[in-house]
Structure 1
Amino acid sequence: MTTDTAMTDRARQALRALVGRTDADFREGQLEAVQALVERRERVLVVQRTGWGKSAVYFVATAMRRAEGAGPTVIVSPLLALMRDQIEAASRAGIHAVSMNSANAEEWGRVREDLAADRVDVLLVSPERLNNPRFREEQLPELAARCGLLVVDEAHCISDWGHDFRPDYRRIRTLLAGLPADTPVLATTATANERVVHDVVEQLSVGADGSARSVTTIRGPLARASLRLGVLTLETPERRIAWLAAYLGSLPGSGIVYALTVSAAEDLAATLQRAGHEVRAYTGRTDPADRLELERALRDNEVKALVATSALGMGFDKPDLGFVVHLGAPSSPVAYYQQVGRAGRATERADVLLLPGVEDRNIWAYFASASMPRQEQADAVLTALAGAPKPMSTAALETQVDVRRTRLELLLKVLDVEGAVQRVSGGWTGTGEPWTYDAERYDRVAEAREREQQLMLDYLATADCRMAFLQSTLDDATAAPCGRCDNCTEPWFPTEIPREAVDLALGQISRVGVDLDARAQWPTGMDRLGVPVKGRIPAGEGLTTGRVLARLSDLGWGQRIRSLLAEDQPVPDQVVTGVVQVLAEWDWVTRPVAVVGMPSRTHPQLVTSLAERISELGRLPLLGSLDLVHGGPTGEAGGNSAFRLAGVWDRFAVGPELAQALATTRGPVLLVDDLVDSRWTMTVAGRALRLAGADEVLPFALAQAG
């Protein structure tokens, strides 16, 4: 028996043990990848559709490497859900897999002991764990030295071009440079075009001595015969929601309905529940324990669908998922393919329908701007850290740099990966290493995203095969007409929408009134910005919970108010009707006795007329408006809490006439504005009213950003 034959037989035996079937055999490309890893110790990139069996490659390779006496396989995996699935799959194959993540800190001691005793076959870690100071210093060097196989799962996340870019994935380059020369490396993904493949290969090729290692790329066809694609363009949000309300039950099996924002997912889930469908919302706001239960319910077909944001994606495995519907288009075909690829892995048919909306482009623009580091913000972070006598926490940095928390955390990760800052015990510190903002690279990323957005619009408009279009955008050379999509045949989905479904949807998106929670605590470190407050907001200075007509991201009223805010104009009667409904349904303890308007630089007609109409219809005296005091610091829209507060501190004054009116007014005052974002404007204005004698301040605005 030749070496190749013996190796193939051992690999096949390992595969059969993994899947529990004596007749199991490799799919095309799987054995090739295993041989490259085990026999030749190569670095391999596998780009294959979801369900092809990428995990089988690294589990078979693990079993064979461990039989040879090699150390544990280290799998860098992006999601806890994905880790859980991988651990369960490994256990079924007799492979002892463990993880070190934020959710099992109490188990780390035992995991370290098992690693030291060589009782672990597979260790799963998140990319963020690679930069945990303790893990980086105590575990990583030994793991790199002993690692029998390194696996980078969902490797498209390495790439700036990828649809789910995570800066910590670029840290893998440093890990690769520390591996012994003969350590095999496997990177896997189901979603990568040639640009992403090139970027991933560039990261994988880093050798210990700085030399470039060759990378073997194994690509397969991305089409899945079970998927039946379609696009249905409907002109209004209520008609898109009505379609789902009417026809969700006729879709095969159970599935996922994707929405672009958290509020859209929650609102849609509520509407579908009222229509009698067994659905639940699954978003970034969903508690981790609840996520597990919701995933189980979908796997066990206890719900018809989860109405989800992109929080449900990589890592969720349900081979018989029957459909994926999108209410709103993702920003690129790569992102879209990644999500629809969850369906139809083990079924003859799975339906995939996209219901695009006119608001999609605004949402794309928001998320794109939130993820790109800006030079002036990076420079401000480096300056602050350079002047700090000790490591600074993220909260402390917020008082020195006007960047919102989520953007600041992303920026710190980018600077960390690029060697300009370092996460240490106690926070962040500058490294002193030279760093230059790579404007050219970020321009390329922005241009690539714009091209991908246009490709998504082209997908919506194409009259050619939709599956072939997606394959082509992913640079799949096997792209060919599928014969199943709505362009290859006739539309397979109904287009007539029952009137009662439209009425139900219209009633839901016409619902008005969203709670506006009052700020309870001042941001930390405000004294550094010249604002003399700290701790909890005193009871005599705070607001009471208020209301807004809608959120700007809401599918119904949100879009109407967004259009209204495009220019300054008197409040329309239709909006006044919605305002009256909110006020009528407000469950306040004590009804307001007067109205005060906010001073507005952008919409003076709108705010003034709104306050006047509320005063007139509610038969409440209009006491006037606060005065706007010019000068002082200003924070940018979208900045962090500390700077937003500093930007409006002492900007509002209670004039003599308003002060006199407040002195004789006993009871709550309704404070009226157009748009609420950070809530600090209302908080500071309300504080001024309270200090001037207002018994209680109830904030009300047309909309809340977000």
Structure 2
Amino acid sequence: MATRTSALKLLRSSLQNESADFRENQWEAIDLIVNKKKKLLVVERTGWGKSSVYFISTKILRSQGSGPTVIISPLLALMRNQIESAERLGVRAETINTSNMDDWDQIKQAVIDDQVDALLISPERLANEKFVSTFLEQIADRIGLFVVDEAHCISDWGHDFRTDYRRIINILKMMPNGMPILGTTATANDRVVDDIVGQLGEVEVIRGPLTRESISLQNIVMSDQSQRLAWLVENIPNIPGSGIIYTLTKRDARLVSKYLNENGIHVAPYFAGAEDDESTSDEHREKLESMLLGNGIKALVSTSALGMGYDKPDLGFVIHYQAPGSIIAYYQQVGRAGRNIDDAYCVLLSGKEDGDIHDYFRKSAFPSVHEVELILGELENSDGLSVPSLVENINLSKGQIEKVLKYLSVEDPSPIYKERTKYLRTAVDYQLDTEKINWLMQQKTVEWKEVKDYIWYGGCLMNYLQEVLNDEIIEPCGKCTNCLGEAIFPVEVNHRNILNASAFLKYSEFYVQPRKQINKGALKEYSIPSKIPANLQSEGTWVLSKWGDAGWGHLVAEDKHNGVFRNELVKAMENMIIHKIDPSDFPAWVTCVPSKRHPELVPDFAQRLADSLRLPFYPCVKKIKDTNPQKEQQNSYFQCVNLDGAFTIEGEIPDGPVLLLDDAIDSGWTFTIIAALLRLEGSGPVHAVALTSTAVN
């Protein structure tokens, strides 16, 4: 039997600190795992040391002859930190995830040969039936400990519920009786805890206080993005150390990063899929994490991708550019700060766009009855269909189809199953549980109201977070702006800085890469190859704004509704074109995308723009077939089919490069097809420009 003394020696070794001691409940958790072989859920604040519990337990269990620990870990950043933590204890840890696919066979063989102490697996691996049947089941009877990190992801009620986590319950059913199981999380209220316990059954729960004594909280309401950008520029240089700035969208992560860097504050955007020219996204994100860890950068401007598990003990601040969707998510993110320093600062800046963004997130969180019926109907009438085949048969995006398939595949019993790349229908009579989904949607609405109430709360802000998390409240924190009775950071910003930020937002143009590949069979009427030759591609698209944004986007939306674009937008577009298009390849003439619904709107703007640029305008692109709105076409195949044969080029066209204008870009296929048609008719390079983008990102 393991003793507290032997476990403490391991803790001190891992921390390289001979005077270190267990935090409250750490030894009790280890004891329940290694000596009593219990199922255990640990709910403790971020920075408490949950990874120490399972790696010390692993070390002890391995010394007793047990097999390897299997850890389900949701994020690469979290895996990387866990590997480092394991190494400090002398635990041989390996990971299987998307960043090391070439090593999978070697790692699996090492586990089978008992040369690995701990194996970290992404939850997405559990969706691979071959991985489960040929590997996980093979080692199931000798797993020493099964760990579910960030266990709140199991629960539908969790702020970060993940479909792949639902597979864990079925995986655990095939594990031998008496195998200890550990779930860990810092963000689970009573509802989430009860749900996890109900799913796992007979679970001991260790729950500690969630208050973070090092964190000072402040809320500042600034509805306009220009005010928030100005606030960041004025205040970030004065905050000690480095930190994280959270945004709700990738576009805002890029936008905030660009503005801060232009103002001499060294930051970088971070989100799923972030990459530079020299590396894959996983490698680049790891590089960014290391830069922040070593204080080589003032901040990362991140979506929620940098949240769970990122461990920087001296992180000095967390600032929210926009409000998160729930208090639990907020606690998770501010919990990155102040783990091993006395003072850290967390400021919530909230804006008028936050509610609309969260409304979109809520509406897209779960599949609809329509989506489920479409997919099951197609599978019912086939001998199995792959995702690409479903894309060609169903007017849903590839992402929507994959989301629905993932949701259905973890239902118990499931109405579908997968053979290699194809999905097939089972005999299960399935109906989507709309009552449950509606209830969950209502709960998310309640959670957003809690955030709005927090923003205006007049009492202790830390106590408010504790109350929502069902934590025991002992006393006010004494460090938040409400407890102090004064602002920690200024709530006003310099008017000149607001004007500078406003000008930046008006000129935050962005570039969209040209489309290069067409779904086979999607453009039967046009003689455009599936792989578009370089000489038929556009030069890409420069876009003036995002629909409805704080720059030009709200004016574009306003003017489109009114039926005419103002001259101010002509000058803005002219300025963008002059500064963004290479003078050596500058357009010699202008044309535009026609519309049968609004026949004068874009041509009128194109003529005025051409006059301003002192270029001739040739309305040579004609629409010869009615089409459905492109916004209603959910994937590339349907978008192309909708446009097949819709346009033609009439009359002679001038020599030289051409400027192709439309009021909005979404998928980019309209520009792609018309550019190819113009090039086939002998035009020079096609430079596409749009007033706004309606794409969601």
Instruction: Tell me the TM-score normalised to structure 2 length.
Output: 0.92
**What's the counterpart of residue 19 of structure 1?**
15
1:119 matches 2:107: no
Return the match for 1:133 from 129, 149, 152.
129
Deviation, structure 1 residue 434: 3.3
Return the match for 1:411 from 404, 409, 420.
404
Q: Give the number of equivalent residue pairs.
A: 685
Q: Give the whole-Å Cα distance in 2 for the aligned partners of 1:602 and 1:249.
A: 51
CA distance 1:544–1:45, shift in 2 (3 Å): same
**What's the counterpart of residue 166 of structure 1?**
162
1:361 matches 2:349: no
Q: Structure 1: which 5+ runs fail to align?
A: 206-213
AA aligned to 2:668 is: R
- Secondary structure in 2 aligned to 1:179? coil
AA aligned to 1:426 is: T
Q: Give the whole-Å Cα distance in 2 for the aligned partners of 1:77 and 1:411.
A: 23
**What's the counterpart of residue 210 of structure 1?**
none
Return the match for 2:257 from 269, 279, 297.
269
**What's the counterpart of residue 683 of structure 1?**
672
Q: Give the whole-Å Cα distance in 2 for the aligned partners of 1:26 and 1:524.
A: 61
Q: Describe the superposition over 1:624-647 as per-residue Cα deviations: whole angstroms up to 9, x where unpaired.
A: 475545556666546111112222
1:186 matches 2:182: yes
The 8 Å contact of residues 548 and 555 in structure 2, kept in 1 or not, is answered as no
- Secondary structure in 2 aligned to 1:230? strand
Q: Give the whole-Å Cα distance in 2 for the aligned partners of 1:175 and 1:426.
A: 22
Deviation, structure 1 residue 702: 0.5
**What's the counterpart of residue 352 of structure 1?**
346
Structure 1 segment 473-492 matched on structure 2, within 5 A: 473-478=468-473, 480-489=475-484, 490-492=486-488
Structure 1 segment 506-545 matched on structure 2, within 5 A: 506-524=502-520, 526=522, 535-538=530-533, 541-545=536-540
Q: Describe the superposition over 1:560-617 as per-residue Cα deviations: whole angstroms up to 9, x where unpaired.
A: 445555x233112332221121122242444434433333466656424322321332
The 8 Å contact of residues 150 and 186 in structure 1, kept in 2 or not, is answered as yes
**What's the counterpart of residue 215 of structure 1?**
203
Return the match for 1:393 from 357, 374, 386.
386
Deviation, structure 1 residue 255: 0.8
- Secondary structure in 2 aligned to 1:495? coil
Q: CA RMSD in A?
A: 2.6
CA distance 1:423–1:20, shift in 2 (3 Å): farther
Q: Give the whole-Å Cα distance in 2 for the aligned partners of 1:267 and 1:84.
A: 28
1:231 matches 2:219: yes
1:698 matches 2:694: no
**What's the counterpart of residue 670 of structure 1?**
659
CA distance 1:647–1:34, shift in 2 (3 Å): same
**What's the counterpart of residue 322 of structure 1?**
316
Q: Give the whole-Å Cα distance in 2 for the aligned partners of 1:307 and 1:603.
A: 40
1:372 matches 2:361: no
Deviation, structure 1 residue 653: 4.7
The 8 Å contact of residues 538 and 687 in structure 2, kept in 1 or not, is answered as yes
AA aligned to 1:277 is: I
The 8 Å contact of residues 74 and 122 in structure 1, kept in 2 or not, is answered as yes
The 8 Å contact of residues 245 and 319 in structure 2, kept in 1 or not, is answered as yes
AA aligned to 2:540 is: T
1:458 matches 2:453: yes
Return the match for 1:569 from 563, 568, 580.
563
Deviation, structure 1 residue 462: 1.4
- Secondary structure in 1 aligned to 2:42? strand
AA aligned to 1:232 is: I
CA distance 1:434–1:106, shift in 2 (3 Å): same
CA distance 1:606–1:223, shift in 2 (3 Å): farther
Deviation, structure 1 residue 64: 2.6
430-439 vs 344-353, which deviates more? 430-439
CA distance 1:650–1:230, shift in 2 (3 Å): same
Q: Describe the superposition over 1:106-129 as per-residue Cα deviations: whole angstroms up to 9, x where unpaired.
A: 333332333223222211111111
298-307 vs 643-652, which deviates more? 643-652
- Secondary structure in 2 aligned to 1:408? helix
Q: Give the whole-Å Cα distance in 2 for the aligned partners of 1:505 and 1:634.
A: 35
Q: Give the whole-Å Cα distance in 1 for the aligned partners of 2:604 and 2:188.
A: 53
CA distance 1:352–1:640, shift in 2 (3 Å): same
- Secondary structure in 2 aligned to 1:526? coil
Q: Describe the superposition over 1:517-562 as per-residue Cα deviations: whole angstroms up to 9, x where unpaired.
A: 32221124538x9988652124565433232212348653345445
CA distance 1:555–1:197, shift in 2 (3 Å): farther
Deviation, structure 1 residue 512: 4.6
CA distance 1:168–1:524, shift in 2 (3 Å): farther
AA aligned to 1:463 is: G
CA distance 1:314–1:620, shift in 2 (3 Å): same
Q: Describe the superposition over 1:219-259 as per-residue Cα deviations: whole angstroms up to 9, x where unpaired.
A: 22211011101111224212211111111111121111112
340-349 vs 568-577, which deviates more? 568-577
Deviation, structure 1 residue 302: 1.5
CA distance 1:236–1:172, shift in 2 (3 Å): same
CA distance 1:415–1:31, shift in 2 (3 Å): same
- Secondary structure in 2 aligned to 1:698? strand
Instruction: Tell me the TM-score normalised to structure 1 length.
Output: 0.90
Q: Give the whole-Å Cα distance in 1 for the aligned partners of 2:559 and 2:165.
A: 42
Return the match for 2:299 from 289, 293, 305.
305
422-431 vs 153-162, which deviates more? 422-431
The 8 Å contact of residues 657 and 685 in structure 2, kept in 1 or not, is answered as yes
Return the match for 2:283 from 265, 273, 289.
289
Return the match for 1:146 from 112, 119, 142.
142
Percent identity over the alignment is 39
CA distance 1:562–1:197, shift in 2 (3 Å): farther
**What's the counterpart of residue 651 of structure 1?**
646
Structure 1 segment 537-686 matched on structure 2, within 5 A: 537-538=532-533, 541-552=536-547, 556-565=551-560, 567-588=561-582, 589-600=584-595, 606-624=601-619, 626-629=621-624, 637=632, 639-654=634-649, 659-660=650-651, 663=652, 665-686=654-675
Return the match for 1:256 from 229, 232, 244.
244
AA aligned to 2:249 is: T
